[in-house]
Structure 1
Amino acid sequence: MKKILLSFLMVIPVWGFSQSFQVNLQGQKQTAMGGAGTGVAMDEASVFFNPGAVSFLKQNGVQGGINGIMLKTAFSQTGSNLTEHNQNKLPTPFAAYAVFGSPENRLRFGIGVYTPFGGAMHWDPNWTGKYAVTSLDLQAIYIQPTLSLKISDNIGIGGGLVYSLGKVDLQRAIPITLNNGESSTAQLKGTSKDFGWNAGIYVKTLSGISIGLTHRSKVNATVKDGDANFNIPDALRSTFPTKFNATLPLPATSTLGFGFYPSEKTTIALDINWVQWHVYKDLSFDYDNNARIPDTHSPRNYKDAATFRLGIENKANSFLALRAGIGYALTPVSDGYVTPEVPDANRLLLSAGIGLKPSERFGVDFSFLYENVIARSGTNIETGLSGTFKTVAYIPGVALSYKF
């Protein structure tokens, strides 16, 4: 029994360290173009995509947008004909930006508030993998003030400080029977407040191609005195922890982006993201009560992973812009580490969107992103849960913008 309980606590991720919960929805125009935006100075979302491009924006402005993530995951246990599905819940990551300073000056200012990590995974309380997870809700909100300097007519640099606010709520069953015959349950809740940074360079070449290079730093999500709530028989309560501490790395990301301009109306963007998942070597927890559960150190051994993004925008006229994109993301999760809260695999990204400009100052942008996560079979080395996961995601979004 102690071994089972130990395994239970070892596999709980306070953050979802996987592309499954790495939210790449920081701008509606860019989302509609496959998520590419590092090598182009497109709009206020450059505060996130490339601070160096902010000084090349032709106007100041503000924008705010929101997405709805409809995640559909199916699980088929090895040796069973039964297929189980996650329950519907709609997380809504958001992004908002503002850019200030005279476009005639070389120095510009910006601020962004966005959601780079977040998600929701909910299973039936009595599903096959209930001892692995029954529900997970998490969110990380980044607040990023930014400076951007045009050091020449063709080169801009920029950077921003990131203040990260995070929260998590994870629940699962544990193999202890209550008096009513049901399984005991556990809930881990915690918050974090941490710092990071974002920097970039933007270059307009003599050939007309634009190039962007950015780096978003690792953020150590530190949870102190998180709540460990156990619904267990009273006779055991004094032997279980009530608090926990954990420090977990949200990995750094480096991106190389290009902008191509076949005509005045057409922009093609290409991004290559490199996410440094190798920092996620293990998952460690420090509990306030070790009578039954010792502190845990669970290996994860993630690997760095790349994502390739390609998008196009065509301005049909002064009122309408059409956008489309495609991408392919490689999973950082090695065989043996796939979990039902992070059922990750390589994935294909397809997107489209439109932009409407009713006036010179006001704009509305719509996007739709489809993610097809390749079916993946395996056995988790911690829990022994064995089977095949298949996930698709449907993600509509909208943003409003105002220029001044």
Structure 2
Amino acid sequence: MKRKSGYLAQGQHLTGLAVCLCLLSAKSWAGGIFIYEAGQEGMGLANAGSAALATDPSVLMSNPAAITQLQGTQISASGQLILGDLKFSRDSNNQFSGNEGGNALEYLPGTSLFVSHQIDERSAVGFGMYGNFGLALDYDDDWTGRYFTQEAAVIGVSFQPTFAYKFTDDLSVGIGPRIMYAYYRTEMAINNNLLGLRDSPDGQLEYKDTDVGTGVNVGVHYRLGPRTQLGLAYTSKVDLEFKDRPSVHKVDNPIINAALRRLDVDDLELDMSVPQTVLFSVAHDLDDQWKLLGSLGWQDWSEFGEIGVDVDTDAAGDVSRSVSRKYKDTWHASLGAQYQIDPRLRWSVGLGYDSSAVDDKDRTVDNPMGEAWRLATGINYELEKGLDVHMAYTLVWLGDMDVDQTKARSGDTLSGTYKNAALHIIGGGATWRF
């Protein structure tokens, strides 16, 4: 975490002052904050074919029905590291002082564990522990957007027991109750300047809490023929409720203090819904070496974005406490291929696209989403009978993301661009088969 000394706010307009409690600032890209890359072999495919292709137990994360395709007992352990390049650059319309914030996402590690067990020819059970939801941002404390956010994180770790059954030789169904443990934290500066007539250090606000929510993953897996597999999966939403007393430090502005009292922030409750999703995938063997894969998906981000708290106080003491995230549903499409180079070595490649959950005009620095392109590749190698290892790399390209964010009452504008924004995701792991 970047921690700096208090910043002496300067040059604020005489028309008002503002403090923003953006208490739902999930850091997100790629259509939202779902992370397809959980370190498994399939991360080298940009999510192509993920609900149809069953090569290891990690498939239960995408489609619980597909574990009926796995023989015996299998264990897959993986990890990934997300390296970000997310840097904000001010433009001539910016009205806030401060620096440009540095790289807001330097790195974020993750790990996963999946197990499947074939009970008999028809039924199978499995278990998954994975983190495929959430990211985090950490700007410099004295950056130009510090009154919107300085640091925030929302991390969800899911635990999913799974049962799947083969009704026919070709048709399988599966269900996986999902228990998510979630952590949320946000921190921002509070402008203590009153009508620009003072030169006081910023105050600080911090909010954090954890919660547990439940949902369910269900899926259908169908073998259309000896060479083609289809998968259709639905993931329900997970409702989370964070409730905390925000920690406020060094706030000596009487107008701001009055606004905080009116908001009753001693007991602030925040509700979040992890979106429901639908995913359809296909995997087709061209021949003994080449396999083609594809996926189409939908994510219900519109419900996730209808919550939040914003306090914007002008010189007269009027208070605005609404946030309009204006999120919209997203869609995903991906194509991929696997090439069996020899009996022990397999190569994967994939290209994916995710639409943005927010229009350009509604983008905010506490949630700088945009459309994303994925380019992924990976290899799987059989070290010995019953033991495979895999490594993969994914480039998530976000390009230029403009921001023009204005305080509703004070009227000050934060303006700039995240230039050439990207994520680099490196993952790897091993699968044991017994």
TM-score, structure 1 normalization: 0.90
Contact 1:322 1:355 in 2 (8 A): yes
Gaps of 5+ in 1: none
Could you tell me which amino acid in structure 1 is paired with residue 416 of structure 2? Answer: G
Matched, 1:400 2:413: no
**Maintained 8 Å contact 1:303/1:333:** yes
Amino acid at match of 1:161: P
- Matched with 1:209 is 228
Q: Residues 123-155 of structure 1, C-alpha deviation per residue, up to 9 Å, x if partnerless?
A: 111111111111122210111111000111111
1:260 aligns with 2:284: yes
Superimposed CA distance per residue, residues 184-209 of structure 1 (whole angstroms, 9 cap, x where no aligned partner): 11111011111100010011013632
Give the deviation of 1:168 after TM superposition: 1.4
Change (3 A) 1:99 1:304: same
Residues 146, 3 of structure 1: CA spacing in aligned structure 2 closer, same or farther, 3 A cutoff?
A: farther
> What is the aligned partner in structure 2 of residue 314 from structure 1?
339
Deviation at 1:227, TM superposition (A): 3.7
1:347 to partner: Cα distance:
1.3
Q: Which amino acid aligns with 1:324?
A: V
> Aligned in 2, Cα 1:293/1:114: closer, same or farther, shift over 3 Å?
farther
Matches of 2:343 and 2:374, distance apart in 1? 29
How far residue 269 of structure 1 moved from its aligned partner, in angstroms, is: 1.5
Distance 1:168 1:378 in 2: 24
Query: After superposition, what is the alpha-carbon deviation per residue over 1:325-368, rounded to whole angstroms, capped at 9, x for unaligned?
Result: 11111101123331223211111110111112111111111010
Quote the Cα distance in structure 1 between the aligned partners of 2:407 and 2:233.
36
Distance in 2, Cα, partners of 1:2 & 1:116:
44
More strand by share: 1
Instruction: Give the 3-state SS of the residue equivalent to 1:283 in structure 2.
Output: coil
Separation in 2, partners of 1:131, 1:281: 20
Secondary structure of residue in 1 paired with 2:366: coil
Task: Give the CA deviation at 1:214.
Answer: 0.4
Cα contact 2:43–2:393 (8 A) shared by 1: yes
2:106 equivalent to 1:89: yes
Kept in 2, the 8 Å contact 1:160–1:199? The answer is yes
User: What SS does structure 1 have at the residue aligned with 2:385?
Assistant: coil
Counterpart of 2:248 in structure 1: which amino acid?
F
Secondary structure in structure 1 of the residue aligned to 2:92:
coil
Match of 1:377 among 402, 418, 433: 402
Q: C-alpha displacement at 1:5, in angstroms?
A: 4.4
Map 1:200-279 → 2, pairs under 5 A: 200-206=219-225, 208-224=227-243, 226-233=244-251, 241-279=265-303
Contact 2:23-2:309 within 8 A present in 1 as well? no
Contact 1:29/1:353 (8 A) holds in 2: yes
CA distances 1:6-34 after superposition (whole Å, capped 9, x unpaired): 6x02x331534653532222352111011
Residue in structure 1 matching 2:73, options 52, 56, 60:
60
> Which of 386, 402, 415 is the equivalent residue of 1:386?
415
Alpha-carbon displacement from aligned partner over 1:143-188 (angstroms, at most 9, x marks no partner): 1111000111111100110111000121111111599942111111
Matched residue type, 2:231: G
178-187 or 338-347, which deviates more: 178-187
Task: Report which structure shows greater RCO (CA 8 Å, sep ≥6).
Answer: 2
Query: Shift in Å at residue 60 of structure 1?
Result: 2.1
- Which residue in 2 is equivalent to 1:356? 381
- 1:286: how far off? 11
Match runs of 1:106-255 below 5 Å:
106-176=122-192, 181-206=200-225, 208-224=227-243, 226-233=244-251, 241-255=265-279
Larger radius of gyration: 2
The 8 Å contact of residues 211 and 259 in structure 1, kept in 2 or not, is answered as yes
Give secondary structure in 1 for the equivalent of 2:360: coil
> Which has the larger displacement, 59-68 or 196-205?
59-68
Letter in 1 for 2:160: Q
Separation in 2, partners of 1:271, 1:175: 47
Letter of the structure 2 residue corresponding to residue 342 of structure 1: N
Rounded Cα–Cα distance in structure 1 between residues aligned with 2:364 and 2:140 = 16
Q: Distance in 1 between matches of 2:235 and 2:178?
A: 9
Count residues in correspondence.
396
**Preserved contact between residue 272 and residue 308 of structure 1 (Cα < 8 Å):** yes
Amino acid at match of 1:12: L
Range with bigger deviation, 276-285 or 41-50: 276-285
Answer yes or no: is the 8 Å Cα contact 1:89–1:120 preserved in 2. Answer: no
Q: Residue 26 of structure 1 contacts residue 48 of structure 1 at CA under 8 Å; is this kept in 2?
A: no
Corresponding residue for residue 99 of structure 1: 116
Kindly state the Cα deviation for residue 78 of structure 1 after the two structures are TM-superposed. Answer: 2.6
**Distance of 2:271 and 2:382 partners within structure 1:** 45
In structure 2, the CA distance between the partners of 1:234 and 1:131, relative to structure 1 (3 Å rule), is closer
Partner of 1:26: 38
Deviation at 1:249, TM superposition (A): 1.2
SS at match of 2:61: helix
